Each structure stands twice: as C-alpha cells, then as structure tokens.
Chains A and B, each alone.
Chain A
Amino acid sequence: MQKKGRNRYKIDVRSDVKEHAWWWVVNKGITPLFLLISVFALFVRVAVSLHPYSGANTPPKFGDYEAQRHWMEITLNLPAKDWYRNSSANDLSYWGLDYPPLTAYQSYIHGLFLKAFDPESVSLFTSRGYESYLGKLLMRWTVLSSDILIFFPAVLYFVFVYHGRGSSMRTKSELAWHMAIILLSPCLILIDHGHFQYNCISLGLTIAAVAATISQNELMACVLFSLALNHKQMSAYFAPAFFSHLLGKCLRRKNPPLEVLKLGFLVIGTFSIIWAPYIHSRDSALQVLSRLAPFERGIYEDYVANFWCTSSVVIKWKRLFTTKVLKLLSFAATVLACLPSMIQQVLDPSSKGFLYALLNSSFSFYLFSFQVHEKSILLPLLPLSLLALEESRPLMWLTHYAMFSMFPLLRRDKLVLAYMALYALFTLIYFAPGVRCSGKTTHQTQKAEKGRKTPSLATLLKIAMAFLYLCSLILHVIYLTMHPPQKYPFLFEALIMLLCFSHFLLFTFYFNYKQCMLSKFLTSKDKEKKNI
C-alpha cells in the first residue's frame, strides 16, 4: 500500500508541473512551505492587530483587553496564593482572574515583558484602564508571540503526523491548502488579534495533543491536553473525545488497567504541578475552583446561538427553573448529546473517528452546556478545520455561521473591516484556483452515490441552505445599516442567533451520522487501514 501511495504521489507532482499554477510554491517540501504560509499567516495577524481591541476607550469596565492586562497586573504584583482571592489589593469584581492557573502563569510571564518596556502599564492599582500606543503594541505582541511559539508549531506537528503516515494520496498543494485553512481561520484571528484573547495557546496545545494522540504518543497527549485544560477550562469541550478515544485504545492493549493508570497518573501529575500553589489546603483549591465555574452568571449570556438561549425565546428557562435544576438539565443534555460519539470511540477508536469525536463533543458542549459564550464556537471550529480536507463544504458553511454568530460582538469591537477582509481572505483561500479539483470530485461523487436514496430531500436541503445563506448576507447589511424597531430592540440579534443555531444543530446531527458511518465503513471495508 505504501508503495502504491508513493506512485500516486509522483504522478500528482507530475501533473502539478503541467497544469498546476502551484507547483513552484509547493515543490520545496513541507517545511519550507509551512514557513511561507506561516509568514503570511503571521503577517495577516499583525495587520489585524492594527485594528481596535474590545473595550477600547470605554471606561469604566473596558473589555477583554483590560481583563488580560489586569491579570498581568495582579499576577505580577501579588503572590500566587492571592491571585484568586478577593482582597484589598485584588478586587475580584473588577475582572477577577477566572481562568485556570496556567493562564495566570502566562499572564505573569507576559506581565514581566510589559514591565520591561512599559512599567506603568502593569503597576498595581494605578494601571486600571491603562491604554497607550506602546501598551497596545506590547499586548498585541504577547498574543503574536504565543501564536508563533505554540499554535504554529502545533499545526506543523499535526500536519506532519496526519498527512505523513500512509495518507500520501494528497497532493502537496492540498497539504498547503490545509495548512493555510487552519492557520488563517478568520474566527480565531479575529478573536485573538482583534478582540483580544489568548485562545491560540489552549487551542494550540489541543492541536498538539491531537497530533500526539494520532501519532500513538498517548502519554504526551495526556500532558498536552492537561496543559490545555489548565489554560482555559473551556478545553473541557474536547475532554469526552480524548477520554473515550484513549480509553478505547487502552482497552485494545495487552494490559488495559495498567495503560489507563499510566495515563491517569500523568494527568494527575500535570495537574498537581500546575496547581501546586493551591493544593496545600482544601479551601484554597476550592476557592480557585469556584472562580473557574461562575454558575451565578446564569445559563446563558447575551445572544449566543446555543440551545438554551435560542429556546428561551419560547421557554423562559431562567424564570421556570432554579440555577441548580438548570445545571443538572444542561449537564444531562450535554452528556446525552456527546454520548453517541463517545461510545463510537470506545468501541472503535480511529484517528479520523477521533477528529469527528472532538467535533461532536465540542458541539454538544457549545449547544447544551451551562454558560456558553459566543466565542466558544472557536472550539468546534478547530477539529473541523483539522478535518478540512474531508469536510470541506461543511467547513465553509460553519465558518460562515460561526463568523456570523460573533458578528454583533465584533461589531461592538469596531472590527467590521477586519471581519470583512478576513472573511474574504478565507473564501479566497478556500476557493484557491486549481488546488482541490482532482481529489474532491471523486470524493464528492462517492458521497453523492451514497446519498442517492433520497435525492429530492438533498436538493431541497441545498436550496434551503442557499436561501438561508442569502438571508444571512442580507442580515449582515441590515444589522450594519438599520436600527431595530423600538418594540424589539434585540430583534436582529435574535434572528442571527436563530439562523446560526439552526445550522449548528443541523451539522451536529450530520457529523454524528458521519462518525457512526465511519465505524460501519471501517469494519466492512478498510480492515488494513486500521492495522496501522
């Protein structure tokens, strides 16, 4: 099989010479190619970072930028044990630290950097709401450097691992396309370098963990994913997938309990190192934990396109149930939603299935869990971008709706220009001429044959989706130019939410279906592939 793959590869390169305009870009091999794409991706990030950040010039609370800067101020000036505790020096009601300790450490390191060049920007008390030309630049550069140091290498690692073994059916231009799609995901760039956050760190660690898992390096995967979890608790969206996939793999080994124990020890070990300042007493650990799970903020905030918020148009959850009941409800719904994909992975762990499981579990969390933010859509988008070559069409749709679901937020941040430019850039890269013509048609026809049972339904769905796509484009314009009617001040937001939610839900069903089909497909047809 290996040999066959190589032959095809050669043929593909040949055809590149004749027809493809990309040959000269890709002929150097993967690493130089990655260098080129990452320099471009970095350039785009720098360009986006010229734009405003969230809460610029809006006292008294400002926005996420101020939150991150405040955390640097706190971590730099207070001892670690006081970071999560309300005190005279640390007013938790003003952007109190509510991310796990790794974020705090990262803030500390970045705080040192800021202090070296602009000490005023991180001085205790006096720096609240500090905004300056240099301060903005330094803050922006901390995100850029995190991206370079964590996200980019992780993507390279993933591409090597995922495309390096056996699946050399892909042409190099397809690999280049895949890298560009992951690195130039408009949502991630807008949130990190426009709005201002450090998602690149936790997502980068997750990608690295995924790559480690695929390359059979489970121990490293556990450490990396624990790090991701400790940077942002939101990474737990992926936990069911990691758990079930690794469990499924361990069960297939000689000595399952030992394997599971090994992984468990590594996770606990990593956690205890990171939580070292807080685990000396029960109280302080609980104090941190309570900061990480802010249940008092309610089941949803603003207008997020998940189940609770959307259905609240009809059912007033917040009025009908207490927070405690809602917690249970949302927990049950989330578990139920990700259960099928978990079972599939335990029974039949495979690399591709794992990626689908990541997608499904993160979607189920986004749709059903407690306290979801618009920005959390980044999490389902990540595994989807890893699956870009298999699920290219859904990737485009979902990127569109993910962007759209964050549009009100980004508009508040005055990032409409960056939004449009990045969306255009993504579309251009998606449709890059001559990249994926050959590979996709066969794939597509296969799919078409399979779905031929109900052709009328499929076409109907397509028409409906195209129509809704058009609606969303029009809604963009309306949202920018018109005022909502006095009676319903949040009419447009609600419409956006409804539109996005319906698509997210639809695709969740679809991906679950795909993952289940994968299992059947594997057992019947691709036995040899599993042996790898």
Chain B
Amino acid sequence: MLGESSLPQLLWWFAVAATVKLLLIPSYHSTDFEVHRHWLALTHSLPLSSWYFDETSEWTLDYPPLFANFERFLSIFANLVDPQIVHLHNGLNYKGSSVIYFQRITVILSDLLLLYGVYRLSKNLDSLKRNLIWVLVIWSPGLLIVDHVHFQYNGFLLGWLLLSISFLVEGRDLMGGFLFAVLLCFKHLFAVAAPVYFIYLLRHYCRGGFVWGFGRLSVMGAMVVAVFAAAYGPFLYHGQIQQVIRRMFPFGRGLCHAYWAPNFWVFYIILDKGLAFLLRKLGFHIEAPTASFTGGLVGDSSPFAILPQITPLTTFITVLLGLFPCLVQAWRDPQPRLIARWIAYAYTCGFIFGWHVHEKASLHFVIPLAIVAVESLEDAKHYFLLSIVSCYSLFPLLYETQEYPIKVLLLLLHSILMWFGFSAQFTTDEASEKDEQITNKESAGLGKRSTTGGKEGFGIGWIGKSYLFGLLVVELWGQILHHYLLGDRFPFIPLMLISIYCALGITYSWIWQLKRILKLS
C-alpha cells in the first residue's frame, strides 16, 4: 500500500529535477565533457582491442571496460543524432549544439537508475522519511553541480551503489554483491568499499557451518569472477590486461589534485609548509621541494620538505587502517541495517586518506549517508553539516561567474529543504497536545514560526552554527575581501582556505561516523 501510493510523488520530484536539469543544459561544462565525448568517438570508431591504446586525444580512456561499453552503447544513438560526435578526428573539441544536447540528455536519462535505486531503498519506510530521502538524493546539490553542470555520470553510478545497498538491506546478499561487482567494472574508484563488502558478505552470506558457508562462498566467488570475466575477458583475450590496468591507475598523478580535496593530506601539507617555514626562520637550511602544490603543478616528484614522503602504498595502508574498526564490527556482527553506514564510512576513509582524491568523490559517501540521515536525530544533525560542507567544497569546480548564483542557490535550497525535513521528522514524535498548540498559534498569526520544543527539536547547536558561519566568512574572503586586502598577491589563498576549512568539517564527519559505528554495534 505504501509503495503504490508513493511512486507518483517520487516521479514528481524526479520530473521537477529533470526540468531544472534541462534548463541547465547551456551552462558551463568542464573538460570532462570533451573527455566523455571523445570516449563516445573512440568506442564507436575503434575496435575493442584498441580502446585502451588510443592516443588521438589527451583524454585517454581510463575507466573500466563496462563504462567503455556503456559509452559504446550511447555512441549508437550519438551516431544517429549527429555523426560528427563520434568521429575520432573531426569530432575533437566539437562544440555543436547537437553534442551538448545529446550528452546532457544522456546524463539526465541515466539518472533514472538513481531514481530506481533510491526508490528501492526507501520503499518500505514511512512517508515522511521516504520523501526526505528522495529530496536529499534526487535534489542533491552536489550531484546537480557535478553531473549536470560540470558534467559526469555520477548519478548513474551512485544509482548502482544504492541498488546494491538496497539488496543488502533486504538480506539478498548475492544480488547485492553482484551489483557491486558490476559497479566496480563501471568505475574502479568505488573499490574502496570492497573490504567492507568482502567481510560483510563473508560473515553474513557465507555463514551456517563450514560446508554450507564454503558452498556459498564459492557461489559468490564464482559470480564475482563471472562479472569480472565478462568485463575484462575480451581484453584478457587480446592480452591487454596490463595496459588496461596501467590506464586505470595512473599513480604518476601525485598525492593531491591541483585543487586539494578537503582531506587529511591537506593538514599534512600545511604542517610540512609550516615546519619548513619555521625551521628556515631558525636558520636551518631547508631545500625547497621540487614540485609545488600551490603552483597547481603536481608530478610524481616529492613535494615535501620536512615530513616523510607519501607514496601510494602509504595511503593504501592508512585507508585500510582507518577502515579497520569498521571491518572488525562487520566481522563480529554483520547486520543488514548498518551496511549503508559502513559503506559510506568506507568511502569517507577513502576520501580522507586516499591517493589523488578528487573533491567530487565526496558524493560517494554523502549520497549513501542520506539514507542513514533519517534514522535518528544525531544522524540528521551530522548529515546537515556534512552535506553542506561537501557541497561547498565542490564550489571551486564551477569557477565561472555565470554559475555563481546557481551553486549558491542550490546549496541554499538544499539547506532549507533539509531544515524543513529534519525538523518535521524529529518533532512529530512529540506530544499531540503540543502539536495542537503550534497549529493554533500558526493559524492565528500566519507565518509566526513555532518554536520547536526545545530539547527534542532539530538544531545543530552553537558549534555547528559557528562552523557554518565560518564557511560564509571563507566564501566572503575568497570572493571579495581577498581581492581588496591583498590584491593579486597569493592567488592560491582562497582555494587553500576552502580546502582547509572543508577538510576540518569532513574530518569531523569521519571521526563522528567512526564513533557512531563503534557505538551502534
């Protein structure tokens, strides 16, 4: 009964979002747009065996095979719309309206998978929670910014993830595992959650005695192998597996991106800079690092002056260490109701400690956490802060003036919706008598805001408020004050401030999630 009546509502939210996405078609798009266009051309014009060898454009194919096949599928339609889109050479940097409309619309349509994923995940919840989750996911400002302005297919991929989680929550582990394996063959960055999946499935799916468990383990193993074989098999057949791997893991890219993703390494870099500065003042001779972060240049050379160098292996180990408490919990008591939380935590660890993390990766945990956010007041408070910080950390992606009001209004809209939703969610449980009072008051003086009953109501406390206020100050500094006070000097400071300030918030979120996970089991 619940599921039936709710679908129109969900479709309505989705359709409204789709009209907005259509309106955003002429907005700025990043080089990722050309990347994906080139992949359309590449997969369309070349045989499978040359996909991972092609170097016609600098934007070589660096996603796993299933994504390449997805592009191949889209290129069939692209060819019908305008053959120039899929032309390997003539299509380079093609900016015609046909290609813009085509690619933008494929993103909008591929969001249907996100819609299905979120529908499946929320269909058994009560109406209010369901509505909230839909709004948080479908109207996620981060997704709109990254997918529909900046240009990527994250909504589609996160749809797979949500779908996989929804099966796990239902206890249908095999299907959940299958979907996750498929997801990994679409985008390997999602592999950060693989340890959680592995431990959870091992303990939850493969339980019930040695023989039975081993049988299930082999079923699961066979299934995963089958998925990977289907994806990578053709390349294995052509003997190109090494080339595929090399393309997929370009470790030469350095620890941080040109704009530092707000994670742990930001503090590390700042500490290094600070120490170097201090020691130089004290008269020590410190060699300047060969590559500078602030210059935007990041090579595989060593950028640290004092602190030990960070290698991909170091980051790998720190991520695993961060994950460890969560894995222990998953091992001890694999509960389906906690799996979304664990997976989100895994992506948070990956974001905080990972190698060459992109700020867009924060979507990987913000979206799954939306499902968790409606569970309790504490979760809601945490999510409120986290999603604002993560969305704000995406602001530098849209650096052109034209999109400035768009990102600000999206964040504002999201914050208001969250505020409405969470306060409605967490004040309904109060005594009905109080409810009556409120409605009376409101009907008497329209618009007079009811005070949400003190201790129980939704609020983020003074620390949260002052943190968000700080966000405003950072933004004001970057947009206005820096220019007036410092002129053109230190042009890297505004971005650095955003990184550091958001890193504070996201690190807090990581610690909070960890504490929460330890507490809940």
A interface list, Cβ under 8 A from B: 6, 9-10, 13, 17, 21, 23-25, 27-32, 35-36, 39-40, 42-44, 46-48, 50-51, 133-134, 137, 141, 144, 160, 163-164, 168, 417-418, 420-422, 424-425, 428-429, 432-434
Q: Given the complex of chains A and B, what is the CA–CA distance between A164 and B448 in angstroms?
A: 12
B446 cross-chain contacts in A, Cβ below 8 A: 29-30, 160, 163-164
Q: A6-B444, A31-B447, A160-B446 are in contact. List 19 more A-B contacts (CB 8 A).
A: A24-B420, A24-B424, A24-B425, A27-B424, A28-B450, A32-B449, A39-B409, A42-B405, A43-B409, A46-B406, A47-B27, A50-B23, A50-B402, A137-B402, A164-B446, A417-B22, A417-B101, A424-B19, A433-B8
Q: Which of B24, B402, B439 contacts A10 (CB 8 A)?
A: B439
Q: Which of B23, B128, B416 contacts A421 (CB 8 A)?
A: B23
B15 cross-chain contacts in A, Cβ below 8 A: 424, 428
Q: Given the complex of chains A and B, what is the CA–CA distance between A13 and B437 in angstroms?
A: 12
Contacts A9-B443, A32-B420, A164-B446; A24 near B128 (Cβ below 8 A): yes
CB–CB A134/B401 < 8 A = yes
Contacts A29-B448, A134-B401, A428-B19; A24 near B413 (Cβ below 8 A): no
Interface residues of B in 118-134 (CB under 8 A from A): 127-128, 131-132
CB–CB A421/B19 < 8 A = yes
CB–CB B26/A51 < 8 A = yes
Distance in Å: Cβ of A450 to nearest Cβ of chain B: 31
Contacts A29-B442, A43-B409; A433 near B450 (Cβ below 8 A): no
Q: Given the complex of chains A and B, what is the CA–CA distance between A188 and B323 in angstroms?
A: 53
Distance in Å: Cβ of A54 to nearest Cβ of chain B: 16
Interface of B is mostly: helix
CB–CB B447/A30 < 8 A = yes
Q: Given the complex of chains A and B, what is the CA–CA distance between A36 and B23 in angstroms?
A: 19
10 A-B pairs (CB sep. < 8 Å):
A6-B444, A10-B439, A44-B20, A46-B406, A50-B23, A137-B402, A163-B446, A417-B22, A417-B25, A422-B23
Contacts A36-B416, A47-B20, A133-B402; A23 near B448 (Cβ below 8 A): no
Question: Which chain B residue has the least Cβ–Cβ distance from A11?
Answer: B439
CB–CB B421/A433 < 8 A = no
CB–CB A23/B424 < 8 A = yes
Distance in Å: Cβ of B128 to nearest Cβ of chain A: 6
CB–CB A21/B405 < 8 A = no
CB–CB B27/A50 < 8 A = yes
A433 cross-chain contacts in B, Cβ below 8 A: 8-9, 12
Interface residues of B in 444-500 (CB under 8 A from A): 444, 446-450
B92 near A: Cβ within 8 Å? no
B16 cross-chain contacts in A, Cβ below 8 A: 425, 428-429
CB–CB B401/A420 < 8 A = no
CB–CB B402/A21 < 8 A = no
Q: Given the complex of chains A and B, what is the CA–CA distance between A46 and B28 in angstroms?
A: 13
B507 cross-chain contacts in A, Cβ below 8 A: none
CB–CB B413/A36 < 8 A = yes
- Interface size on B (CB < 8 Å)? 47
CB–CB A432/B12 < 8 A = yes
CB–CB B436/A46 < 8 A = no
A417 cross-chain contacts in B, Cβ below 8 A: 22-23, 25-26, 101
A48 cross-chain contacts in B, Cβ below 8 A: 23
Distance in Å: Cβ of B126 to nearest Cβ of chain A: 11
Interface residues of B in 413-445 (CB under 8 A from A): 413, 416-417, 420-421, 423-425, 428, 436, 439-440, 442-444
Q: Given the complex of chains A and B, what is the CA–CA distance between A17 and B425 in angstroms?
A: 11
CB–CB B8/A17 < 8 A = no
B423 cross-chain contacts in A, Cβ below 8 A: 28
Q: Given the complex of chains A and B, what is the CA–CA distance between A30 and B442 in angstroms?
A: 9
CB–CB A10/B443 < 8 A = yes
Contacts A43-B20, A48-B23; A25 near B420 (Cβ below 8 A): yes
Q: Given the complex of chains A and B, what is the CA–CA distance between A168 and B444 in angstroms?
A: 10
Distance in Å: Cβ of A128 to nearest Cβ of chain B: 24
B169 cross-chain contacts in A, Cβ below 8 A: none
Q: Given the complex of chains A and B, what is the CA–CA distance between A2 and B127 in angstroms?
A: 32
Distance in Å: Cβ of A49 to nearest Cβ of chain B: 9
A47 cross-chain contacts in B, Cβ below 8 A: 20, 23-24, 27, 406
Question: Which chain A residue has the least Cβ–Cβ distance from B441?
Answer: A29
CB–CB B417/A36 < 8 A = yes
Distance in Å: Cβ of A175 to nearest Cβ of chain B: 9
Q: Given the complex of chains A and B, what is the CA–CA distance between A425 and B19 in angstroms?
A: 6
Question: Which chain A residue has the least Cβ–Cβ distance from B425?
Answer: A24
- Please indicate which of the listed interface residues A47, A133, A417 has the most CB atoms of chain B within 10 Å of its own CB: A47
Q: Which of B131, B132, B405 contacts A144 (CB 8 A)?
A: B405
Q: Given the complex of chains A and B, what is the CA–CA distance between A48 and B25 in angstroms?
A: 10
A141 cross-chain contacts in B, Cβ below 8 A: 405
CB–CB B443/A43 < 8 A = no
CB–CB B449/A29 < 8 A = yes
CB–CB A40/B413 < 8 A = yes
B226 cross-chain contacts in A, Cβ below 8 A: none
Contacts A23-B128, A24-B132, A43-B20; A17 near B409 (Cβ below 8 A): no
A163 cross-chain contacts in B, Cβ below 8 A: 446
Indicate with 1 or 0, residue by residue over B207-248, a CB within 8 angstroms of chain A CB atoms.
Answer: 000000000000000000000000000000000000000000
B27 cross-chain contacts in A, Cβ below 8 A: 47, 50
B112 near A: Cβ within 8 Å? no
B410 near A: Cβ within 8 Å? yes
Contacts A13-B439, A424-B19; A29 near B417 (Cβ below 8 A): no
A44 cross-chain contacts in B, Cβ below 8 A: 20, 23
B424 cross-chain contacts in A, Cβ below 8 A: 23-25, 27
B412 near A: Cβ within 8 Å? yes
Distance in Å: Cβ of A391 to nearest Cβ of chain B: 23
CB–CB B131/A24 < 8 A = yes
B447 cross-chain contacts in A, Cβ below 8 A: 29-32, 160
